[in-house]
Amino acid sequence: MNKQLALLQGTLDMLILKAVSLGPLHGYGILLRIQQISKDRLEIQQGSLYPALYRLEHQGWITSEWGESENNRKAKYYRLTAAGKRRLRREAEKWNRMADVIAGILRTAPEEV
């Protein structure tokens, strides 16, 4: 397995929004979903997931309600709000633009300058 990458600062929020945009998930589910999409290439501190969730909820991007887990246990499920959907779109756009710019800079050959 490749060595896991540490998360860039500020990207965890975006990944959480993306993860819950595909359907309501509980905290542990979000962790699994991110690991699954990233094919386990990202290292996520489990403990840091929850403060991020609480922050996103406080800001109104996601909401939560208690539901039943796959094995019939009470679990708190997070869902994207309309504002969260817009936020995710904006963040993704920004990220893509930034990634393009950075990649462009790094691709530049010496003679192009």
- Enumerate binding residues for other proteins (CB under 8 A): 26-28, 31, 45-48, 50-55, 57-60, 63, 66, 69, 71, 73-76, 83
Least distance from C-beta 55 to other proteins, angstroms? Answer: 4
CA distances from 78 to 1, 28, 29, 62 (A): 30, 11, 10, 6
Contact 83, 35 (CB under 8 A): no
Residue number, 9 or 46, with CB nearest to other proteins: 46
Residue number, 27 or 88, with CB nearest to other proteins: 27
Residue number, 39 or 107, with CB nearest to other proteins: 39
The residues that bridge with 5 in the sheet, in sequence order, are: 42
Which helix (H) or strand (E) covers residue 2, if one does? none
Least distance from C-beta 26 to other proteins, angstroms? Answer: 7
Nearest of 77, 64, 73, 67 to residue 26 by alpha carbon: 77
Least distance from C-beta 20 to other proteins, angstroms? Answer: 15
